[in-house]
Structure 1
Amino acid sequence: MAYLEELGMKAVMPSFMAKGEKQLSTHDANTSRLVTKIRWVVESANARIKRWKFLDRILPTSQVPYIADYIRIVCSISNKYFPPLSTGNVDEDNAVACKIKYLATQINHLKEEVESKKLDSRKVLWKRPEELLDFPRLDEEELRNMTCGTYQLKLSPSYAEEHFNDGADIMVHRDDPYLLRVKIQSRHVSSKSYLLWIRYNETSVTGWYCKCRAGSRVVGVCGHIASVIWYLASGRHQESIHSVRDWGRYIDESSVIPEPVDASESEEEGVEE
């Protein structure tokens, strides 16, 4: 990091919790999201290079003088015959960048409300999510604007099917007419669950807070919040939730490559403990 800064670069890395902490601060969680959003550009380029088996392994020292040439050749072939890594609209991308840079300076007002009013210690009357009739419906674009990416939205159907269709591992409680408290089971630890809060009005979701590691951020949302909002605002209104891919066709026909997932939010894999 110090070396990069000496070269005049601004170097940032995802934040880590100090010993004894259970959650990143809003500032640290926001900063970490900025890093993971940017690093996907580098990771996707590296992933394309590593599709070549020779470059997807540790090479002997005898090959060191030739590695640069190999990479130039592979990159030239990729640039010529593979689709661009980014096919987005430049103006839209700039708008997203401006939005997340602005959000990174904001605080999580709902987190402050939960802590100041001690909402996590109040008595609750848990109900099934199907009883919520006033939660706003949101389309894919509105959900994507809220999550600041597509990674979580692509995972939400499978997460929703796992938790909501079979025995409903999610329960909701109203702390006030437009504030939901939700309890959701951890995907990785059967004995662990998370509490999260979602504030909304007749047309949109206006605030969120989860007690997981990255749940206080306002630059996008954590995976728990994304899945719950997707289900309440969209998924439950669909006739069925299609979540599981038929990976067998990729085994039978190796020339068919599954559509890559934008892992710009892949830090969520390490959120739950």
Structure 2
Amino acid sequence: MNDNLSVICEPGDTQIVDRGFRDVAGVFQDLGFTVKMPGFLKQGEKQLTAEQANDTRMTTKTRWVVESFHSQFKKWRFFSERISQDYIAYIDILVRTVAASLNKYRSRLYEGKSPEDYALANKMLLLKSRSSHLEQLIINGDLSLREQWNNIYDIEPDFNFPYLTLDFLREYTCGIYQIKQSSSYAKAHLFNNDDQFEFQLFSSNDSLLRCRLHSKHSRTTKYYLCIQFDNDDDDDPIKDHYCQ
């Protein structure tokens, strides 16, 4: 593996991998590479910290082009199904042939060299190191996502939440993936919850909104999403968010 990687990589290069590489991450490091991989929960932990979650998002967002290329790869019937061990001796040639064909005749998935791309990358680097104020309040015991919340329409029938444009959402989420996922996610939630979302305001701070959502991956798991907003700030109405 060292000889093969040395052809295309240099010491100090970063290997951006998924969790399936966790058993060989040490090998990469021994070869002089930096390894970036989505975070793991340690025994007894219930969720990643905001810093760990941001680092994981950075890794997955950077790696998406690899996953997209894999998706193109699997459109070839041979690679979309289980491959017989009879082809092991030839798999290297087959992979190289298909990869070369895709590179030659398919358009590039992503250029990533426009001023907008550089601006987005710089913003992601800035956000990566920013801590969550809501997380600190919860850790310090000054805020609970499970107590002291009131249903919005019981206390404020005319509740007003900032209007968020698609441009703002794209900038806030650093892309379009979450926006594309939101429609099907919302429909699934409404189907399982009598066509309703449940919203609450914090009893002592009406700029904190809470919503309870089902996990995308497990119907039995629910999360509390907290959003801090400011109706008077048209340019930056969402100040913070945290999910527990």
Q: TM-score, normalising length from structure 1?
A: 0.67
The structure-2 alpha-carbon separation of the partners of 1:12 and 1:189, relative to structure 1 and needing over 3 Å to count, comes to: closer
The structure-2 alpha-carbon separation of the partners of 1:69 and 1:162, relative to structure 1 and needing over 3 Å to count, comes to: closer
CA RMSD of aligned residues (A): 2.7
Equivalent residue for 1:149? 175
Displacement of 1:55? 2.6
Distance 1:71 1:121 in 2: 51
AA of the residue aligned to 2:240: G
2:104 aligned with 1:76: no
Equivalent residue for 1:66? 90
Equivalent residue for 1:40? 64
> Secondary structure of 1:119's match?
coil
> Secondary structure of 2:44's match?
coil
Q: Is the 8 A contact 2:55 2:128 kept in 1?
A: yes
Q: For residues 227-246 of structure 1, what are the alpha-carbon distances to aligned partners after superposition, in whole Å with 9 as ceiling and x for unaligned? A: xxxxxxxxxxxxxxxxxxxx
Displacement of 1:109? 0.9
Q: For residues 71-101 of structure 1, what are the alpha-carbon distances to aligned partners after superposition, in whole Å with 9 as ceiling and x for unaligned? A: 3332333234323211655322222222112
Distance 1:56 1:161 in 2: 30
Q: Is the 8 A contact 2:200 2:210 kept in 1?
A: yes
Equivalent residue for 2:17? none
Equivalent residue for 1:232? none
AA of the residue aligned to 1:210: C
Equivalent residue for 2:145? 120
Distance 1:124 1:56 in 2: 49
> Secondary structure of 1:172's match?
strand
Distance 1:101 1:156 in 2: 24
Q: Is the 8 A contact 1:128 1:170 kept in 2?
A: no
Displacement of 1:210? 0.9
Q: For residues 185-208 of structure 1, what are the alpha-carbon distances to aligned partners after superposition, in whole Å with 9 as ceiling and x for unaligned? A: 445555543222101112221100
Show the 5 A alignment for 1:78-227: 78-86=102-110, 90-116=114-140, 117-127=142-152, 131=157, 133-164=159-190, 166-175=194-203, 176-187=205-216, 189=218, 192-202=221-231, 203=234, 204-211=237-244
Distance 1:87 1:128 in 2: 47
Q: TM-score, normalising length from structure 2?
A: 0.74
Distance 1:171 1:18 in 2: 31
Q: Is the 8 A contact 1:200 1:206 kept in 2?
A: yes
Count how many residue pairs are aligned between Structure 1 and Structure 2. 211
Q: Is the 8 A contact 2:145 2:226 kept in 1?
A: no
Query: Which runs of 5 or more structure 2 residues have no equivalent in the other structure?
Result: 1-24
Distance 2:32 2:240 in 1: 37
Equivalent residue for 1:29? 53
Distance 1:16 1:108 in 2: 20
> Secondary structure of 2:181's match?
helix
Q: Which structure's relative contact order is higher, taking Cα pairs within 8 Å and 6+ residues apart?
A: 1
The structure-2 alpha-carbon separation of the partners of 1:185 and 1:200, relative to structure 1 and needing over 3 Å to count, comes to: same
Q: Is the 8 A contact 1:170 1:182 kept in 2?
A: yes
Worse overlay, 168-177 or 94-103 = 168-177
AA of the residue aligned to 2:36: V
Worse overlay, 10-19 or 81-90 = 81-90
Show the 5 A alignment for 1:233-272: none
The structure-2 alpha-carbon separation of the partners of 1:16 and 1:56, relative to structure 1 and needing over 3 Å to count, comes to: same
